[in-house]
Structure 1
Amino acid sequence: MKKILSCLLLFPALFSASSQSAMLAVEAGVMDWQSKASDYFGEAKDNNPFVKVKGFTANEYGDLYGHVTFEDPDDNAMYGTEINLIGQINLGDSDWNLYGQVFDKSKPKWGETNTLLGISWDKDIDDYYLQVALAGHYVDATYQAFDKDFEGGFNGGYFYVMLSKNLNVFDQNFKLSWWQEHYFARDDEYLIMAGDGKDFGFNGQFSVNWSFTENLSLNLSYRYAENNLGKQGYQDAIFYSVQYKL
């Protein structure tokens, strides 16, 4: 809970006077995991509600994104949280940046804090936005049944790619986006503990956002993973949500 409160207190800082652009929103919906996930995880990945608070800011020095997600808030046995902070520091006038990410996932019987440090490149091209990042991966994990032989530390490499496009159809504003993150050269003890099984794994998401008013939008996403998110092999889901910009 302290980690959640600390992250939420950061969001007002996203709207500092020096910000050239900023956004703060609340999103709520359902994660509808398909059979390859629900047959393996049971209630942990079935039809799971979530509530997310997220924010973004950018200025001449770089940008910062953050979100706090509450998963299964109606079920104490399945309740979990996800905290993600991603920052880029611009390297001069180039499109290159110093890149950092802290991702924390907590569930009743396990938890992970992942720290990613490296370099990124991003660029706006007309209505498109493209970003790639390469980083080292450090992990601190606690899995109640498997944590005796794993002390955390360096856990291989990380590569990320993201592409989005804004478009207007019949005077309606839409945003299409796709991102995918890849993990490689991971620790063998971690792979057994986390359930990913194989050294190389990835996960990603295709999304369509329809802003039907200035503040309200609907989101439809296809979420997928291979040797990642706790399972060897493929798993996928469809996320439905509504978002309100504050």
Structure 2
Amino acid sequence: MKKIAIAAAITMSLSAPASAEYLYGFGNVSVNALDWSKGSVDRAAHHKDFVYLELEGGAGFSWGELYGFFDVENVQEDSSDLRTAYKGTAAYKLGESGFRAYAQHYATDSSGFSSSNTVLGGQYRFEGDGWFVAPFIGSHYTITNPSWTTGFSGLNGGMAGWAAVYNFTAFDQNFWVSNWHEMEFSRKDAYIAASGEEKGTSMNGALGFWWNATDNITAGVQYRYADKKLGSADNLNAVIYSMRYNF
């Protein structure tokens, strides 16, 4: 399924007309510190605060949008505790409407654990001057390989969610708010048993507030939340402090 998702994203890109117009793009590298709340640590002691480095980028074309990031986590620890995570999305416009064909793939890997999540479905993009909201829904394919129990591989219900950004100016400064949100539903019993997340539904996302101090420097703080997700049956929340260099 991972190969299918990658092939789908490549196909959507290659099937764009030769006259496709580049509309916008962005890229950044960042240093980020994630601080779990005390309640989250009490409920799920295996979750620890960590620092991560991120490379992120995206672009819009007349045929649709691409987005992706790559993280190296736990950089405050020695190399044996490093984790990696990456995500890529592709949205291909269907005619002149706001509808898109949508593909998303997320994977993480660390010592003793790896997982990947692939979503294939549809998206609708609402947008205006300085803002967009892009809800999506699709089928969900999951692969997990924890070292402490039997993993899971197969179709795993569905996923729905959205990505949203709103830019505004205040006190002669440029600010923006971001939100990504994912809800998994109808997850398989075998996955629930392997993950320890207890329920067939889950919630996962982050709400961010950002300040573009200069063209190259952006500072931000995010509220990170999850429920029946991240290998835990409990509600979890954290604050992420970020400093980005935009190029």
Task: Please give the TM-score of this superposition, normalised by the length of structure 1.
Answer: 0.88
The 5-angstrom pairing of residues 53-202 of structure 1 reads 53-75=55-77, 76-147=79-150, 150-202=151-203
SS of structure 2 residue aligned to 1:20: strand
C-alpha distance in structure 1 between counterparts of 2:154 and 2:145, whole Å: 12
* Counterpart residue type for residue 96 of structure 1: F
SS of structure 2 residue aligned to 1:39: helix
- Judge conservation of contact 1:162–1:178 (CA < 8 Å) in 2: yes
Asked whether 1:39 is paired with 2:42, we answer yes
C-alpha distance in structure 2 between counterparts of 1:151 and 1:241, whole Å: 33
Q: Which runs of 4+ in 1 moved over 4 A?
A: none
SS of structure 2 residue aligned to 1:191: helix
Shift of 1:74: 3.2
- Judge conservation of contact 1:37–1:46 (CA < 8 Å) in 2: no
For structure 2, the residue ranges without an aligned partner over 5 or more in a row are 1-9, 14-19
Asked whether 1:51 is paired with 2:59, we answer no
Shift of 1:41: 4.4
For structure 1, the residue ranges without an aligned partner over 5 or more in a row are 1-9
CA offsets 1:62-95 (integer angstroms, 9 cap, x no match)? 1100100010123234310111001100001110
CA offsets 1:139-170 (integer angstroms, 9 cap, x no match)? 121011112xx441100010012332100001
C-alpha distance in structure 2 between counterparts of 1:19 and 1:81, whole Å: 30
Total equivalences in the alignment: 229
CA offsets 1:93-116 (integer angstroms, 9 cap, x no match)? 110000001100112111111110
Shift of 1:229: 1.4
* Counterpart residue type for residue 202 of structure 2: G
Asked whether 1:210 is paired with 2:211, we answer yes
Shift of 1:29: 1.6
- Judge conservation of contact 1:227–1:234 (CA < 8 Å) in 2: yes
C-alpha distance in structure 1 between counterparts of 2:152 and 2:163, whole Å: 32
Shift of 1:36: 3.1
Asked whether 1:26 is paired with 2:29, we answer yes
SS of structure 2 residue aligned to 1:186: coil
- Judge conservation of contact 1:34–1:46 (CA < 8 Å) in 2: no
C-alpha distance in structure 1 between counterparts of 2:71 and 2:109, whole Å: 11
What corresponds to 1:7 in structure 2?
none
User: Residue 241 and residue 193 in structure 1: after superposition, are their counterparts in 2 closer, same or farther (change >3 A)?
Assistant: same
